[in-house]
Chain A
Amino acid sequence: MTRTTNLFLCGVGGQGILLASEVISSACMRSGFDIKQSEVHGMAQRGGSVVAHLRFGEKVFSPLIEPGDADIVVSFELLEALRYLPYMNGKTRVIVNTQKILPAPVATGADVYPADVLAQLAQRRITVFPMDAFEIAKAAGETRAVNMVLVGALSALLPLDEAVFLAVISERIPEKIRKVNVEAFLKGKEAIKEMISV
């Protein structure tokens, strides 16, 4: 039996993580994999930290990724990448949106946003793919498409066809904003490919 692949998504409530994980899971399902996708609802809209566990393979049991066992982490916000460090190992590949969303204690001046998030990841020899998904989404024409930029980036690291992702996106996203979301997906994929080829 092939090993289960563990994808860990993290970010801030309101960034579209739940939709992103749904798109990825649907693409996995259509590619013939078993999949379990776990997330916690409830306080997500209120600016809290949000995570989703996605596990796919021949047969998936546990819905939760074990500490130190994430194959790929997609952090929708810079600081969040550091929060979930215990889920990573030396071989984890981490896609980081370098966009900063200030946590409440930072916004009120009670705490300080760390200046060296990427350096802290690099110190631990973790492979990091930093990208400004917000700017990429903006260039694609929709700042709210940050999630699709990151799905696009992630897709470049997965054994799934682009066509499957595009089919899922076009079914899942309303026609009015479909084009910019597809554009965002493709730009995200392009951005990471440039980093891999370097």
Chain B
Amino acid sequence: MKNKHNIGDKVLFSGNEAIALGAFEAGVTVASAYPGTPSTEILENLCTYEGVYAEWAPNEKVALEVALGASFAGARALATMKHVGLNVAADPLFTAAYTGIKGGLVIVTADDPEMHSSQNEQDNRNYAYAAKVPMLEPSDASEAKEFLKTAYRVSEEFDTPVLLRTTTRVAHVKGIITAGAAECSSAKLGIEKMPEKFVMLPGHARKRRVELEKRLARLRDFAEIFPENRIEWGDKQKGFITSGVSYLYVKEAFPEASVLKLGMAYPFPDRMIRDFASQVEELFIVEELDPFIENHVRALGIACKGKELIPAMGELNSHLVRNAVTGAAATDLFAPVPIPMRPPNLCAGCPHRGIFHAISKLKVFVAGDIGCYTLAALKPLSSMDSCICMGASIGTAFGMEKALGKDALGKIVAVIGDSTFMHSGITGLIDVVYNRGFSTVIILDNRTTGMTGHQPNPSTGVTLSGDTSTAIDIEALCRAIGVKHVITVDPHRHLDAEKVLRQEIDRPEPSVIITKAPCALLPEIKKKKDKKLYTVRAKNCTGCRSCLRIGCPAIEWVPLTPEEAKQLGYKETQKGHSYINPVMCIGCGQCAPLCKFKAIAVVGEDND
């Protein structure tokens, strides 16, 4: 069913849902993305609107290139990604700034200050400056929708790609938004050859470089009259320059103060900044992460207070902003009490647990990658030794191998998920084969993109909109690259998988082990009818804790006092016994072979 809203409808939407509606209202017809928190829901929602083609690309670079192509054909196009995704897409971005566009082109970058679900907290406003493209920065869901529509008008008027930056507290915060009218592009659909604009040969690029500077100058003038760069005059003792969600924290903490809100994060309205600064007694710059506004204000020769008060790390909030500016310490708050942590864990029945348990026994260096399975770095599996960025596992494993030479044989493995392999693992594997390596690469194929909430990928044979597609055969792909030893194993049967691992890591040639079993949260597993759940035969359990070594959330340790142990028929010295929570067990069977005393059995077969 296609999504529909009437003009004037009020709905409770997250920033991401609002951006999807904004894209629909802006007349976007082509959208491409790679899933990544906190950006994923934009395309998941956009694909439910009529007349929009939305897709998961294998990675962000491809996503931006697809959107750019759609723009060249005259369509309004969108590419969305998380902050680190823009690193991947930076190559087309920097040159798209030269070519400009035909149909409006907007790139949404969803930054993650505080690293709720990311490996770093880079501030992507720096990309606007570096690539010389305008960036809009909404504060909440309602602005996110309106700013996205504005971004298309700016894109077409100034012949430029436009960045729209959200952060986690914009992307994932729900607020009330009002559905609006549909717009359409001023560009015409069709093929138009414009080599001087689209073919960035040095000779052409030098001319476009000049155009780029002229465009930036026009954008600076525009920034002065852009209504979303606005001054809210109040008490002039304190004046704040701020943007994005930080604006909301300032309004909450200092409702009476004067505020210059920058709806456009780049380029800056210099005249407006000077005017504002000249009229307030004390000027504060409140922004999350880098001193992006502050550095510019200081470069204008204007005195201000910024990062010496406001942290450059993590998220802000109104409490923090108020205390930082006034210098007041937190008043008598309840102190936190020490209680057990509740760290995220691989789910009960997760196929990754089995293979990582097997890997942990090899005592090798595990070059890891981005996905749920990065959690295997935590206790008790403790079997990941590096994790950098999407696709890095294979290259880093191979680099270690080249540094150590023959000594590395049997001591290093690379581990990468199916979606991550499609994203940027393939090229790493090509390097291993081409440059005569002997790396062992383990591809964790759980038939989905798990971490971001179950998006299909090129190896699953389903598209974003749910259509059947050609599933890329990972095994055949690895063979085509030139890997001679490609073996598929069942990660739940970890003893068998361990044998294969031991045999492959010592092989002086490249090898790929594909561990194939669906994510435990996929409907095909969750709704499976004839699940054989496991239980602990109380009389056999010796309390040796071997089964706890895989860290399955369904297996619990029940501590016993000597009296309790005696009552249950155990030795008085037994400290406790294991228990399998029947609500959580899904019957993967990984735990059963861990028990030497045959205390773990299928329910119903536990009485012998």
Contacts and interface: CB of A to CB of B under 8 A. Distances in A.
Interface of A: 12-13, 22, 25-26, 29, 34-43, 45-49, 60-64, 66-69, 79-80, 82-83, 85-86, 88-89, 102-109, 111-114, 120, 124
Interface in B329-346: 330-331, 333-337, 339-346
29 contacts: A35-B12, A35-B175, A36-B175, A38-B172, A41-B172, A42-B38, A42-B116, A42-B452, A47-B347, A61-B252, A63-B140, A64-B169, A64-B318, A66-B317, A66-B319, A68-B330, A79-B342, A80-B342, A82-B339, A83-B339, A83-B342, A85-B335, A89-B334, A104-B345, A105-B341, A107-B553, A108-B380, A109-B545, A109-B548
B342 A66 contact: no
B336 A35 contact: no
B172 A39 contact: yes
A38 B453 CA distance: 18
A105 B549 CA distance: 12
B343 A104 contact: yes
A7 to B, nearest CB: 13
Contacts of A86: 333-336
B118 to A, nearest CB: 9
A113 B340 contact: yes
Interface in B1-32: 10, 12
Contact of B176 (A29, A42, A63, A104): A29
A105 B340 contact: yes
A176 to B, nearest CB: 14
Interface of B: 10, 12, 37-38, 116-117, 140, 168-169, 172-176, 245, 248-249, 251-252, 317-319, 330-331, 333-337, 339-347, 372, 375, 380, 451-453, 521, 545, 548, 551, 553, 555-557, 559, 576
Contacts of B330: 67-68
Contacts of B176: 29, 34-35
Given A25-B12, A48-B342, A61-B248, A42 B451 contact: yes
Contacts of B251: 61-62
Contacts of B452: 42
Given A64-B249, A83-B336, 18 more contacts: A25-B174, A29-B12, A35-B174, A37-B12, A38-B169, A40-B116, A47-B345, A47-B347, A48-B342, A61-B249, A62-B317, A63-B169, A67-B333, A85-B335, A103-B343, A108-B548, A111-B340, A124-B334
Given A37-B174, A86-B333, A113-B340, A107 B116 contact: no
Given A41-B37, A64-B317, A108-B551, A46 B173 contact: no
A43 B173 contact: no
B318 A62 contact: yes
Given A34-B176, A67-B330, A108-B551, A85 B248 contact: no
Contacts of B38: 41-42
Q: Which one of A13, A25, A45 has the greatest number of beta carbons of chain B within 10 Å? A: A45
A26 B11 CA distance: 9
A85 B331 contact: no
In order of increasing CB-CB distance, the 5 nearest A-B pairs are A42-B117, A109-B557, A48-B344, A62-B252, A66-B319
Contact of A109 (B116, B343, B347, B559): B559
A110 B188 CA distance: 65
Nearest to A88: B334
Nearest to B168: A40
A114 to B, nearest CB: 6
B372 A85 contact: no
A105 to B, nearest CB: 5
Q: Which of A43, A49, A113 has the most CB of B within 10 A?
A: A43
A68 B334 contact: yes
A63 B173 contact: yes
A139 B380 CA distance: 37
B556 A107 contact: yes
Contacts of B545: 109
B245 A46 contact: no
A107 B521 CA distance: 21
A88 B336 CA distance: 11
Contacts of B555: 107
B451 A63 contact: no
Contacts of A13: 344
Given A42-B117, A63-B173, A85 B334 contact: yes
A75 to B, nearest CB: 12
A117 B245 CA distance: 35
A89 B331 CA distance: 11
Given A29-B176, A40-B168, A62-B248, A67 B347 contact: no
B551 A104 contact: yes
A103 B551 CA distance: 11
Nearest to A126: B334
B522 to A, nearest CB: 12
Contacts of A37: 12, 173-175
A38 B10 CA distance: 18
A163 to B, nearest CB: 18
B553 A104 contact: yes
Contacts of B37: 41-42
A12 B342 contact: yes
Contacts of B343: 48, 103-105
Contact of A36 (B173, B334, B345): B173
Contacts of A83: 336, 339, 342
Contacts of A46: 344-347, 372, 375
A41 B453 CA distance: 9
Nearest to A104: B345
A36 B557 contact: no
A115 B189 CA distance: 68
A124 B345 CA distance: 32
Nearest to B547: A108
Contacts of B318: 61-62, 64, 66
Given A46-B346, A47-B347, A68-B334, A62 B10 contact: no
Contacts of A38: 169, 172-174
Nearest to B245: A63
Nearest to A40: B116
Contacts of B551: 104, 108
Contacts of A104: 342-343, 345, 551, 553
Contacts of B319: 66-67, 69
Nearest to A90: B334
A63 to B, nearest CB: 4
B344 A103 contact: no
Contacts of B521: 45
Contacts of A88: 334
A67 B340 CA distance: 21
Instruction: Report which residue of B168, B173, B576 has the largest number of chain A beta carbons within 10 angstroms of its beta carbon.
Output: B173
A22 B339 CA distance: 29
B39 to A, nearest CB: 11
